[in-house]
Structure 1
Amino acid sequence: MSFWGSYLNINYGYNRGDLKPGITENRYIRLYWQCTLELLALLIDVYDTTRDKKFLTDKLLVLAPPFLRFYREFNKGRDDDGKILFKPAQSLETWHEAVNPSPDIAGLQWVLDKLLALDELPEELREEWSELRELIPEVPTRTDAIKNRTVVLPALQYDHLANFENPELYTVFPYRLYGVGKPDLEIGRATWEDRLFKQTRCWFQNGIQAALLGLTDEAKADIVTRASNPHAGSRFPAFWGPGMDWIPDQDHGSVTCITVQRMLMQCDDGKIHLLPAWPKDWTVDFKLHAPNNTTVEGHVENGSLTKVTVSPEERRKDIVLPIEPDEKT
């Protein structure tokens, strides 16, 4: 994609045949729309953190209406319950043929719920987005009777495996439907355990998702593996790669940073969960930003938070620490 947002010519295609305008010759990105929802989720997190009203009105509420309107206008079909039928569709770059892909559905649920919770939302957008939210189907799942567990599927129907993402885990990150302190945590964990692709490099999100699910040992292993594999041909150790693409591999470093931060702190629904996936044998000093212009600074040693400073102090009441097994009732 070029910096102004249009497709590269080679992806859009020179010999397009019967392809409709706007549909790429490149099959990997032909129906890959949910990147717009990823951007909105990122912007929502920025606003949650800063509460910058100008950012809200000049950025988030400018981009969100056309992005969300596209989903309603492009997907004209409806299922038996009157919900949007996402068809034709694909589930990321991995499943090129899909109906009701989980990343798109989870993204729409997450983004719309966060936007509709804004007090500053103009009434016409609230009405439009409330109607759209009612049209979004549930994330597709499958119940395994033998193992007595439920897992998220990449899509309601999916075929033509072509890449290495785990689309079903977009319900954990970037769209945090499942995670520490949330309902149905075990669905998220079972989905993580059931994933097809377990690589630990580049843009693979396994470490982030493990941290968000409170899987301490798994997140730790991901970080150790990533940090132990610098590019041998580069003098600067953080020039990872080439991973899946190039050197320096900014994906590798970015995923590492996000994983460490999510191991230390997770914030949703007004709570600040500290040490949700932090190893007891790792000592750390940290200072992180939380929603509502909040900073949290602390020291952790031998699995205990020995010092914590919260600014503003009134947010201290929102801190949640992990419950030890012998403390659970």
Structure 2
Amino acid sequence: MYSGLDITPYLEFIEYQLAWFDKYYRKEANKRSPWQLDGYYGNETLIIYSASAAETYKESYNPSSTTSGLRKLITDLLAVDQYKIENRTHYLRYLATVPPTPLREQQGRTCIAPALAYTRIQNSETPQLYPVFPWGEYGLGRPNLTHAVDTYLYDTETQAGHGNKGWNQDVIWLARMGLTAKATAMAEDRFRDSDVCKFPAFKGPHFDWTPDLNHYGAAALGLHEQLVQTFVGADIRLLAAWPDRWSARFKVWAPRNTTLEGVVEKGNKMGSLVVLPASRAGDVIYGQE
């Protein structure tokens, strides 16, 4: 998507992975009843059970991390039509069978649910926010952003999973949702020198080891999403969650073989910006407009 890389060598692998979800869960549903699909939503959809929402919500029914992810992967596969996917009709039908991302009411607000149902919580991930990142179903420029924001701020089960260390993705989610002050505070905390290791750029141990590469990986992704977001159509959203007090010189990639090189000054003012190819300059939008 960024460079126009020919994904033909990988298509067989991608399609086999998608086929597994379709075939396996139809077969599992058929073991429990005469039906392979569920008519609950008014159209026939897969029954993704028994599953797991990340490693946390066990024996899940239609986990949000899976339903949103399947929808994203199939949609992206259909989008690379230059590779002449011969069974396009099959994937359009498959897409129609993916259940919607489940929602639930929490404290009078509509939030993303980890799954339609589950039996137990066993770990500390927050899969109900995977539809924000990595899947991009919710975010700036997308519908129902308040569902995601309220999930982060008010859902009772997400509170225990919040964190700013190791592989915690909060800093990325906050940037994607445009919560600039919170994202900035987390980014600055992530990048500060270690206070427990001899080497200032070593962090950990968090969940696994020292030095914790996940910690700085999440930090870099969060910072990038604060500067530029490209997960909605052709849009290139600059300064999506960028604080007024930061200045930077940057050169970043965007989809469709695009590069952006520029300077942002304090006060969220662009000192300069060069977009290549120039035809993509019209796709640049600023801030949260």
Query: TM-score by structure 1 length?
Result: 0.79
Match for residue 129 of structure 1 among 71, 79, 91? 91
The answer for the alignment partner of 2:16 in structure 1 is 66
Conserved in 1, the CA contact under 8 Å of 2:140 and 2:288?
Answer: no
Q: Return 127-136 or 253-262, whichever deviates more.
A: 127-136
Do the aligned residues in 2 keep the contact of 1:274 with 1:321 (CA within 8 Å)? yes
Q: CA deviation at 1:127?
A: 2.3
1:316 matched to 2:281: yes
Structure-1 residue corresponding to 2:5 = 52
Q: TM-score, normalised by structure 2?
A: 0.89
Q: Distance in 2 between matches of 1:69 and 1:231?
A: 47
Deviations 1:278-297 (A, max 9, x none): 00011111111000111111
Q: Of the candidates 222, 233, 239, which is equivalent to residue 269 of structure 1? A: 233
* Number of aligned residues: 271
1 CA distance for matches of 2:17 and 2:249? 40
- Residue 75 of structure 1 aligns with which residue? 25
Amino acid at match of 2:202: F
- DSSP-derived class of the 2:38 partner: coil
Q: 1:12-41 CA distances to partner (integer Å, 9 max, x unpaired)? A: xxxxxxxxxxxxxxxxxxxxxxxxxxxxxx
Structure 2 counterpart SS, 1:66: helix
Q: 1:212 aligns with which of 151, 170, 176?
A: 176
- Secondary structure at the counterpart of residue 180 of structure 1: coil
CA distance, structure 2, for counterparts of residue 259 and residue 58 of structure 1 = 31
Q: How do 1:169-184 and structure 2 match up within 5 A?
A: 169-184=129-144
The equivalent of 2:255 in structure 1 is 291
Q: SS state of the match for residue 120, structure 1?
A: helix
2:168 match: secondary structure: coil
Counterpart in 1 of 2:32? none
Greater relative contact order (Cα 8 A, min sep 6): structure 1 or 2?
2
Distance 1:202 1:209, change over 3 A: same
Tell me, yes or no, if the aligned pair for 2:178 and 2:288 is still in contact at 8 Å. Answer: no
Deviation for aligned residue 1:314? 1.2
Q: What's the secondary structure of 1:156's corresponding residue?
A: coil
**Structure 2 counterparts to residues 83-162 of structure 1, below 5 A:** 83-144=45-106, 147=108, 149-162=109-122
Instruction: Give the Cα separation in 2 of the matches to 1:75 and 1:120.
Output: 30
Q: Residue 191 of structure 1 aligns with which residue?
A: 151
Structure 2 partner of 1:240? 203
Deviation at 1:228, TM superposition (A): 2.5
Percent identical: 32
Q: Is 1:163 matched with 2:123?
A: yes
After TM superposition, give the deviation of residue 108 of structure 1 in Å: 0.4
Shift of 1:231: 5.8
Please give the alpha-carbon distance, in whole angstroms, between the structure 2 residues aligned to 1:222 and 1:162.
26
Aligned-partner Cα distance in 2 for 1:263–1:255: 12
Kindly provide the amino acid, as one letter, of the partner of residue 117 in structure 1.
A
Post-superposition offset of 1:119: 2.1
Letter in 2 for 1:215: L
Shift in Å, 1:128: 2.3
SS in 1 for 2:45: coil
C-alpha distance in structure 1 between counterparts of 2:218 and 2:85, whole Å: 37
- Local SS of the residue matching 1:243: coil
Q: Offset of 1:182 from its aligned partner?
A: 1.2
Q: Aligned in 2, Cα 1:94/1:296: closer, same or farther, shift over 3 Å?
A: same
Q: How far has the Cα of 1:123 moved from its partner?
A: 4.3
Distance 2:70 2:4 in 1: 22
Unaligned residue ranges in structure 1 (runs of 5+): 1-47, 325-329
Distance 2:125 2:193 in 1: 21
Q: Which secondary structure state, in structure 2, belongs to the residue aligned with residue 155 of structure 1?
A: coil
When structure 1 is superposed on structure 2, of 150-159 and 222-231 the one drifting more is 222-231
SS state at 1:242 partner: coil
Residues 131 and 138 of structure 2 are in contact (CA less than 8 Å); yes or no, is this contact kept in structure 1? yes
1:137-177 deviations in Å (ceiling 9; x for gaps) = 10000135x63x31100000023111111010000001000
Secondary structure of the 1:305 match is strand
Q: Which residue of the other structure, out of 260, 265, 279, is the alignment partner of 2:223?
A: 260
- Letter aligned with residue 74 of structure 1: Y
RMSD (Å) for aligned C-alpha atoms: 1.5
